[in-house]
Amino acid sequence: MNNTFNLVWLIPTLPLLGFLINGLGRKSLSKSASGLIGSAVVLGSFIISIMTFIQVKQGHTGVIHFFDFLRVSGLKVAFSFQIDQLSSLFLLIITGVGFLIHVYSTAYMHDEEGKDFAKYFAYLNLFVFSMLLLVMGGNFLILFVGWEGVGLCSYLLIGYWYENNNYTDAAKKAFVMNRIGDLGFLLALFWLISKTGSMEYSQVLNAASLAKLTTFDITGITLLMFVGATGKSAQIPLFTWLPDAMAGPTPVSALIHAATMVTAGIYLIARSNILFSSALITQQVITIIGLATAFLAASIALKQNDIKKILAYSTVSQLGFMFLALGTGNYVAAVFHVLTHAFFKALMFLGSGSVIHAMGGEQDIRNMGGLHKHMKVTSITFLIGCLAISGIPGFSGFFSKDEILAGAFGYNTIIYGVALFTALMTAFYMFRLYIITFTGKFRGTHDQEHHLHESPAAMTIPLIILAILSIIGGYIGIPEVLGGHHELAHYLSPIIPTAHHSLSHQTELMLMGLSTALVLGAITFAWIRFRNFKAEQSNGGLSSFLENKWYVDECYEWIIVRPIKKASSLFQHILENRIIDGSVNGVGKLVNYGSRQLRWLQSGQVGAYVLLMVLGMLLLFVIQFFVS
């Protein structure tokens, strides 16, 4: 291990330190102190991440081995970090965006009382720690450690206001669904171990180990890994937890449920792309699932009225796009979209946060409107976010999304069509959100109105930074068509072989033009549709169908939850109490009964006794002489 990475251990350790300080000293620390500590540690690891990134850019990569986590009967799992292009990129995203959100939170959570405030930051730091573990881990087990860790933190943060039962329900749902995914992941690991006998990236993710695996193995392993990914990254069928997860504080949604944690699945697949590219069936599955998720979520987002819910569904939808990219073998595009999406979606969440903050906790966009004149910064940054996500040329979203679409086109035209349509829907509902919220005239209560104000600097500055990022963020990946030469792709090439570009430049340009034109159309349609918006009740079956999110939750309730509950109570009352325990107690009852019966032999009559004796004697004679 080269000594250029001798600070890397600090990257996860600092947040852990922050967690410990905030957690243990939560009673004593003042709000400002804990906020400061919370943000400072993340800043620290951000700085180190930048240093690391620079070194990696210069071509230093390596695996840093600390100690052996498990060493048992042939399996050796090191506690080691792998620093390479992919992980360093994610480090930047996590620590960078994380830092901004920490700063934002200091202001946003200001109404919380001291120890809850400290607790909040402790959790946040713990999350950053586990997320860093996830991306830095040198093998699948450390990745899994972080993987479950972030699940825990999201549980804790969603249920942060634990007195509200719905929130804790949401938290529980999130954790359990993640657990389901994790089981798939775990099984994938077992499969991998049983075949290759190791979990180190360096030993598993190479042609040599691929040779050990049959196609069936690879397909199975990758599919199981994908199951894990669906849990973490909210894909069909395990996506329903994410919208509910909006119960948590808004910055949490921004950090965990938009920028970082939910992209863990993409990270996993990108990390093990060598496996996935040799598993065609899996790729098809991923493509379908991704596309379906994107479409489904987008369609639901059309009719939502809770500002955070809309963002949540759009997140799910965007994640779907990323998986679409992965499925089409376009890993770079996926990672690229992760990056840009991290910027603009975080931006929008924080924006919505500042809106909610201003509205005093109000989240229903039908009670908003005309906020632009009250809070300019928020409005403008939010607009930038919308433009970015809908893929207007010049904004970051454009490049990444276009790359995905191009890949899809190269893969299959129908898929491309659906994807494009989904992109249009995205543009439509985002602008619906924007228009209803920021333009027109205010629809809320009166005291809400004069309470309206722009958020403090601690909140606006991150917004601005993120806005800038979501404009320029795309320029690290300009395709050749537009005269750039895809920096990102080159940077990642050691990890991810650059996708073969089948499309000719003309087609590509044509596609860009097409999508841009359609998107603009969608936006204008939204403008016309919602320019003077009234809170009207939903009309028609389809819209109510969408409002009720395709009744997915209800289906799960009926298909899975109810039967399990039924079975449990059935076991309890029939099998446990009646049959098993019943038979155990039955023996005792039998003995008692037999005792009561046998007592009558002891009749007290000498005659009877002697008779029984004689009969016994007869019996003995029979046994002795007449039973052979």
Partner 1 sequence: MGTYFSFPDLFIWLPILAGLLCFIPALRNHGKNLSLLFSLIILGVSIASLFFTNDGKYLSFNHVSYIWLKYLGANYYIGLDGVGRSLTLLTAIVFPLIIGSGYKKEVSSSHSFYGLLMLSQAGLMGVFMAMDALSFYFFWELALVPVYFLASKWGGEKAIASTFKFFVYTFAGSLLMLVGIIYVYLHTGGRTFEDGTIAPHSFSLSAFYQASLSVVEQTWLFIVFFLAFAIKMPIFPFHTWQPDAYDQSATPVTMVMSAIMVKMGLLGVFRWLIPMFGQADHLLYHIATVLSVIGIVYASFLAMVQDNVKKLVAYSSIAHIGLMSAALFSMKKMGVQGVFLQMFNHGINIVGMWIVLDIIERKTGIKKISELGGLAIKAPALTIFLVIISFANIALPLTNAFPGEFMLLNGLYQYKPWLAVLAGLGVIFSAVYTLNMIQKVFYGTVKESTSEVSDIEINEKIVLSVIVLIIFVAGVYPQPLIDLTKASADQLFTIIK
Partner 2 sequence: MNAIIISAIWGVLLMFSGVFLKNKSVSKYLALFGSVLALVSTCIEMKTGHSFFNFPMYEMIKTDAFNLLFISIIHGIMIVYFLLNAQEITKVGSHVAEYYALIFFILSGIAIAATFNTLLMLFIGIEIISIPLYILTGSDKRNLKSNEAALKYFLMGAFSTGIMLMGIAFIYGGNPNASFYIDKIDMGHGQMPVFIAMGLVFMLVSMSFKVSAAPFHFWTPDVYDGAPTVFTSFMSTVVKAAGFFAFLRLFEKAFGSMQDQWQNMIAWITFATLLIGNITAVFQQSVKRMLAYSSIAQAGFMMLAVFAMNGKAKEGILLYSAAYSLATIGIFGVLTKMEDYTISGFNGLSKSNPVVALTATIFLLSLTGVPLTAGFQSKFFLLISAVENGNHIWLVVAAVLFAAISAYYYFRVIQAMYFKTAESDDQMVMQPITTQYTFILVLIAILILIIGIYPELIIGWMYR
Partner 3 sequence: MNISTIVFLLLSLMAVGSALMMIISKNPVHSVLWLILVFFAISGHYILLNAQFLAVVNIIVYAGAIMVLFLFVVMLMNLNADTEPIKNYRMQLAGICSGGTLLLILVLLTNRMDVEQLVQTNVGDAGLIKNLGMSLFKQYVLPFEISSVLFLSAMIGAVVIGKKEETIDQNTNS
What residue ranges bind partner 2 (CB under 8 A)? 588, 591-592, 594-596, 598-599, 601-602, 604, 606, 608-610, 612-613, 615-617, 619-621, 623-625, 627
Q: Is 141 near partner 1 (CB under 8 A)?
A: yes
Separation CA 441–CA 448 (nearest Å): 13
Closest separation in Å from C-beta 231 to partner 1: 11
Q: Which is nearer to partner 3, 24 or 622 (CB)?
A: 622
Q: Which is nearer to partner 2, 450 or 599 (CB)?
A: 599
Can you list the alpha helix ranges (DSSP code H) found in 303-412? 307-327, 331-358, 376-390, 396-411
Closest separation in Å from C-beta 70 to partner 1: 6
Q: Which is nearer to partner 3, 208 or 615 (CB)?
A: 615
Give, to the nearest 10 degrees, the angle between helix 85-108 and helix 264-271.
170
Separation CA 216–CA 494 (nearest Å): 27
From residue 421, how far is each of 331, 519, 520 by CA, in Å?
A: 22, 9, 13
Closest separation in Å from C-beta 621 to partner 3: 5
Residue 564 interacting entry, from partner 2, partner 1, partner 3, none, C-beta within 5 to 8 Å by type: partner 1
Closest separation in Å from C-beta 604 to partner 3: 14
Residue 618 interacting entry, from partner 2, partner 3, partner 1, none, C-beta within 5 to 8 Å by type: partner 3
Residue 620 interacting entry, from partner 2, partner 3, partner 1, none, C-beta within 5 to 8 Å by type: partner 2
Q: Of the candidates 364, 160, 341, 353, which has an alpha carbon nearest to the alpha carbon of residue 260? A: 341
Q: Which stretch binds partner 1 (CB under 8 A): 47-55, 142-150, 251-259, 458-466?
A: 142-150
Which of 67, 506, 625, 628 contacts partner 3 by CB under 8 A?
A: 625
Which of 3, 165, 597, 605 contacts partner 1 by CB under 8 A?
A: 165
Q: Does the bond joining 15 to the residue before it have cis omega, within 30 degrees of 0?
A: no
Tell me how many degrees the CA angle 321-326-328 measures, rounded to the nearest 5. 95
Q: Of the candidates 285, 295, 317, which has an alpha carbon nearest to the alpha carbon of residue 184? A: 285
- DSSP label of 67: E
Q: Which stretch binds partner 1 (CB under 8 A): 168-176, 308-316, 393-401, 600-608?
A: 168-176
Any residues with CB less than 8 A from the CB of 35 and at least 6 apart, and which?
102, 105, 106, 117, 121
Q: For the chain, how far is it from start to end, CA to CA, in angstroms?
A: 85
Q: Which residues in 121-180 contact partner 3 (CB under 8 A)? A: none
Say if CB 308 and CB 436 are below 8 A apart.
no
Which of 111, 113, 163, 536 contacts partner 1 by CB under 8 A?
A: 163
Radius of gyration of the chain (CA): 31
Q: Exposure of 622 by Cβ count < 10 A (0-12 exposed, 13-18 middle, 19+ buried)?
A: exposed
Closest separation in Å from C-beta 586 to partner 2: 14
Residue 168 interacting entry, from partner 3, partner 1, partner 2, none, C-beta within 5 to 8 Å by type: partner 1
Q: Which is nearer to partner 3, 600 or 625 (CB)?
A: 625
How far does Cα 300 stand from its chain's mean position?
18
Say if CB 350 and CB 463 are below 8 A apart.
yes
Q: Which is nearer to partner 3, 513 or 616 (CB)?
A: 616
Which of 60, 65, 110, 179 contacts partner 1 by CB under 8 A?
A: 179
Burial state string for 494-510 with b = 16 or more CB within 10 A and e = fewer than 16: ebbeebebebeeeebee
Say if CB 301 and CB 194 are below 8 A apart.
no
Phi–psi pair at 176, nearest 5 degrees: -65, -45
Separation CA 336–CA 137 (nearest Å): 21
Determine how many CB atoms are found less than 10 A away from the CB of residue 343: 30
Q: Which residues in 562-621 contact partner 3 (CB under 8 A)? A: 607-608, 611, 614-615, 617-618, 621
Closest separation in Å from C-beta 612 to partner 3: 10
Closest separation in Å from C-beta 579 to partner 1: 8
Closest separation in Å from C-beta 576 to partner 2: 23
Q: Which is nearer to partner 3, 540 or 604 (CB)?
A: 604
Binding site for partner 1 (CB under 8 A): 67-75, 115, 141, 144-145, 148-149, 152, 155, 159, 162-163, 165, 168-169, 171-172, 175-176, 179-180, 183, 186-187, 190-191, 193-194, 564-565, 567-569, 571-572, 575-576, 580-581, 584-585, 588
Binding site for partner 3 (CB under 8 A): 607-608, 611, 614-615, 617-618, 621-622, 625
